[in-house]
């Protein structure tokens, strides 16, 4: 199916309000219950499109489009929609701020144990990178919305508007406090791991890097040369909140960087952050995990966007944290891009599935590394090696049964339901609880988002066509997984439709009671689909691809048409007929010239039509002479 971001986002908004807004009150929670991450994802389904897409903006009620006003009618008239969102934000902050005013990032009901045992009460309070990253994105979106909406409210004279203005002024610093805490948590969750080459972790890394059977010493020396600038910059510049005893000077040690599942057990305090999170102890092992690294990078990407800087949303403290995060964002992507493409032969990335330093293997990890390689290409605007990444996406789509049928007992079904189990080393024993895992079911949405990102980067028509076809097939897969019954119809996720018997407990028929958990929305997956649709909207608003070959053909076509037009103007016979037609052709060729650099195919077509009209004129004149 075609990806139609405007209509599909409106459908999501309609379904979100039908599911969550009842009796003028917001209903929290979904399939996994209410927790700080799920509720953040739930709210982002509304607020993220409203602050990323100009046509969906809710901060200027007078400019709201009719279809958006109709979808949001449950919130009230257009002048009251912004006030309803302010109320929901107030409720969210009240739920996830403790009596001392400290932000709460507990993962709660999203946590699972590796052996099926119940996590301890203390484990349910653990804070994870997902919570920090999602809160960062929500806080940035909320500040964007409130700063503009505040100016609208200040111009109103009604008593209700004056009261709303006071509430907004009180709400902004509370959101800013949560943003500072989220940024601090991400800084202190960044880790650098330096294993010995002979260790199990070292051998796993070398096993992925060494695609040609070279001696280990040669691989260690080779990757050290390739990563020398990253290593030096990391040793000299990455200081804030980090472990002071990391040895990056020894070239004989391997190293990897990224984000662990939570605050590093060895992380140092951040003194200038007054909230608890600046000096609270961490539990996460000092080893990066690919899933949490991708989650952190996506959140930081929202923070470092040009619009965030232009709107001056950050205070001095937050700018210092933002600079630290941007440095880690850049170094991490450069590191993984270098590692994934290392060696003279086949890339390690092409050796599917990727094996992590702790010995875990999954197609999901290959997709995560591919995403970082792609982001590095975007940062450098490099497209020479993009076809290799696209080929990996194609393989992953087939292996993940995105573009092929899932068979009975197919292990690929586990990528979609229940998802990839990601270990949380360091969580075991906390409060007497078991070792915890994080379940990741977003393989399809990550693939869709990266296909759209690669499509935007590519300058080749055939590659773009291949990527868009893959994106549309992935959207087909996700559309089949929409809930069709119950209060959350139109949201996600009914994995039974693609995983079948591998997804026990997920019903697909109306016989199941609507209150059954199977018909509650997964805000985890729904929010990620919203991100993909926002990305698609951003891509489609860009000018179409203008290739040099098409520009050359359009120039040649227009040049011939203009020359023939000049000849016809010398032969004008009937001033009322021929001159009017020649004027229309002249305007057509002016449009062809104007559109040449942005829409060369359109320019070519306009010139072609002009040539046909000029031919008809010349033919008619010759025919008249014969008569």
pLDDT digits (tens, 9 = 90+) for 173-221: 999 999 999 999 999 999 999 999 999 999 999 999 999 999 999 999 9
> Where are the domains positioned within the chain?
548-626
How large a percentage of the chain has pLDDT more than 70? 95
Order of strands, sheet of 420-423, starting from the edge strand that comes earlier in the sequence = 112-113, 436-440, 420-423
Per-residue tokens: 535: 């990305």
Whole-number pLDDT of residue 161: 87
Please, which pLDDT band fits residue 504 given cuts at 50, 70 and 90? very low
Please, which pLDDT band fits residue 573 given cuts at 50, 70 and 90? low
- Nearest-angstrom CA–CA distance, 568 and 128: 73
For the cut 50, the answer to whether the pLDDT of residue 533 exceeds it is: yes
Whole-number pLDDT of residue 245: 65
CA 163 vs CA 58, 85, 89: distances in Å: 19, 15, 16
For the cut 90, the answer to whether the pLDDT of residue 40 exceeds it is: yes
Tell me if 524 sits within 8 A of 442, measured CB to CB: yes
Peptide bond into 115 cis (omega under 30): no
Please, which pLDDT band fits residue 483 given cuts at 50, 70 and 90? very high
pLDDT in tens, 316-336: 999 999 999 999 999 999 999
Please, which pLDDT band fits residue 577 given cuts at 50, 70 and 90? low
For the cut 80, the answer to whether the pLDDT of residue 347 exceeds it is: yes
- Nearest-angstrom CA–CA distance, 253 and 199: 11
Whole-number pLDDT of residue 223: 95
Residue 519, classified by CB atoms within 10 Å of its CB into exposed (0-12), middle (13-18) or buried (19+), is buried
Sign of the torsion angle spanned by Cα atoms 506, 508, 511, 513 = positive
Tell me if 608 sits within 8 A of 553, measured CB to CB: no
* pLDDT, mean of residues 73-91: 94
Residue 586, classified by CB atoms within 10 Å of its CB into exposed (0-12), middle (13-18) or buried (19+), is middle
Tell me if 273 sits within 8 A of 188, measured CB to CB: no
Tell me if 85 sits within 8 A of 168, measured CB to CB: no
- Of 360, 392, 355, nearest to 373 by C-alpha is 392
Tell me if 167 sits within 8 A of 86, measured CB to CB: yes
User: In Å, how far from its chain's centre is CA 193?
Assistant: 26
Whole-number pLDDT of residue 543: 85
H or E stretch covering 466:
helix 461-480
Please, which pLDDT band fits residue 511 given cuts at 50, 70 and 90? very low
For the cut 80, the answer to whether the pLDDT of residue 492 exceeds it is: yes
Whole-number pLDDT of residue 187: 96
Whole-number pLDDT of residue 525: 96
Residue with tokens 């004279």: 157
How large a percentage of the chain has pLDDT more than 90? 73
- Nearest-angstrom CA–CA distance, 359 and 493: 30
Give strand pairing partners of 460.
Answer: none
Give strand pairing partners of 259.
Answer: 190
Whole-number pLDDT of residue 499: 67
- Nearest-angstrom CA–CA distance, 167 and 200: 56
- Nearest-angstrom CA–CA distance, 134 and 295: 8
For the cut 60, the answer to whether the pLDDT of residue 575 exceeds it is: no
For the cut 70, the answer to whether the pLDDT of residue 458 exceeds it is: yes
* pLDDT, mean of residues 401-418: 86
Confidence (pTM): 0.90
Strands 190-193 and 436-440: unpaired
Name the average pLDDT for the chain: 90
Tell me if 280 sits within 8 A of 274, measured CB to CB: no
Whole-number pLDDT of residue 507: 45
- Nearest-angstrom CA–CA distance, 9 and 57: 13
pLDDT in tens, 109-151: 999 998 889 999 999 999 999 999 999 999 999 999 999 999 9
Whole-number pLDDT of residue 513: 45
* pLDDT, mean of residues 28-48: 96
CA 267 vs CA 53, 260, 316, 431, 599: distances in Å: 37, 11, 23, 21, 52
Give strand pairing partners of 257.
Answer: 192
Residue that wins the pLDDT comparison between 519 and 207: 207
* pLDDT, mean of residues 217-240: 90
Lowest mean pLDDT among 159-173, 503-517, 540-554: 503-517
- Of 288, 221, 290, nearest to 254 by C-alpha is 221
For the cut 60, the answer to whether the pLDDT of residue 503 exceeds it is: no
Whole-number pLDDT of residue 576: 54
Tell me if 369 sits within 8 A of 340, measured CB to CB: yes
* pLDDT, mean of residues 573-597: 82
For the cut 50, the answer to whether the pLDDT of residue 427 exceeds it is: yes
Residue 538: phi and psi, rounded to 5, are -65, -40
Whole-number pLDDT of residue 572: 61
Whole-number pLDDT of residue 311: 75
Whole-number pLDDT of residue 585: 92
């Amino acid at each position: 199916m075609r990806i139609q971001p405007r209509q599909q986002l409106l459908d999501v908004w309609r379904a979100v309000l039908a599911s969550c807004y009842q009796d003028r009150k917001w209903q929290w929670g979904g399939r996994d219950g209410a927790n700080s991450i799920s509720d953040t994802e739930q709210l982002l389904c509304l607020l993220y499109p409203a602050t990323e897409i100009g046509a969906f903006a809710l901060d200027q009620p007078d400019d709201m489009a009719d279809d958006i006003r109709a979808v949001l009618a449950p919130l009230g008239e257009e002048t009251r929609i912004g006030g309803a969102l302010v109320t929901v934000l107030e409720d969210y902050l009240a739920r996830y701020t403790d009596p001392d005013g400290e932000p709460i990032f507990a993962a709660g009901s999203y946590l699972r144990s590796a052996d099926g045992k119940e996590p301890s009460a203390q484990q349910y309070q653990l804070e994870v990178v997902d919570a920090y990253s999602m809160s960062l994105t929500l806080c940035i979106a909320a500040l964007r919305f409130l700063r503009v909406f505040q100016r609208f409210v200040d111009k109103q004279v009604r008593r209700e508007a004056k009261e709303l203005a006071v509430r907004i002024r009180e709400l902004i610093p509370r959101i800013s406090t949560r943003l500072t805490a989220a940024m601090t948590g991400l800084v202190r969750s960044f880790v650098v791991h330096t294993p010995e080459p002979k260790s199990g972790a070292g051998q796993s890394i070398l096993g992925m890097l060494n695609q040609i059977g070279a001696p280990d010493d040669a691989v260690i020396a080779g990757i050290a040369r390739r990563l020398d600038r990253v290593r030096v910059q990391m040793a000299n510049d990455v200081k804030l909140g980090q472990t002071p005893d990391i040895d990056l000077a020894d070239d004989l040690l391997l190293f990897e960087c990224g984000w662990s599942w939570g605050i590093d057990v060895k992380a140092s305090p951040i003194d200038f952050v007054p909230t608890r999170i600046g000096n609270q102890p961490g539990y996460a092992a000092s080893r990066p995990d690919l899933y949490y690294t991708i989650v952190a990078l996506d959140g930081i990407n929202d923070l470092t966007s040009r619009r965030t800087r232009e709107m001056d949303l950050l205070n001095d403290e937050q700018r210092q944290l933002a600079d630290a995060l941007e440095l880690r964002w850049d170094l991490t992507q450069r590191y993984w891009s270098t590692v994934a493409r290392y060696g003279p032969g086949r890339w390690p990335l092409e050796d599917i599935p990727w094996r992590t330093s702790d010995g875990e293997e999954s197609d999901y990890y290959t997709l995560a590394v591919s995403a970082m390689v792609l982001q590095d290409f975007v940062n450098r605007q490099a497209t020479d090696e993009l076809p290799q990444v696209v080929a990996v996406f194609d393989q992953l789509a087939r292996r993940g049964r995105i573009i092929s049928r899932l068979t009975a007992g197919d292990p690929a079904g586990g990528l979609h339901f229940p998802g990839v189990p990601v270990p949380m080393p360091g969580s075991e024993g906390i409060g007497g609880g078991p070792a915890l895992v994080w379940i990741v079911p977003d393989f399809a949405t990550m693939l869709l988002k990266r296909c759209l990102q690669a499509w935007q980067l590519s300058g080749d028509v055939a590659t773009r066509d291949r990527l868009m076809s893959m994106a549309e097939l992935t959207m087909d897969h996700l559309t089949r997984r929409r809930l069709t019954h119950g209060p959350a119809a139109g949201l996600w996720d009914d994995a039974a439709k693609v995983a079948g018997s591998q997804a026990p407990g997920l019903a697909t028929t109306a016989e199941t009671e609507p209150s059954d958990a199977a018909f509650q929305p997964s805000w985890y997956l729904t929010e990620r689909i919203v991100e993909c649709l926002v990305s698609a909207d951003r891509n489609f608003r860009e000018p179409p691809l203008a290739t040099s070959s098409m520009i050359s053909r359009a120039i040649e076509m227009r040049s011939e048409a203009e020359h023939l037009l000049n000849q016809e103007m010398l032969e004008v016979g009937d001033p009322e007929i021929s001159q009017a037609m020649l004027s229309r052709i002249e305007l057509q060729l002016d449009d062809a010239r104007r559109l040449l650099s942005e829409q060369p195919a359109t320019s070519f077509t306009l010139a072609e039509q002009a040539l046909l009209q000029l031919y008809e004129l010349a033919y008619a004149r010759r025919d008249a002479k014969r008569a």
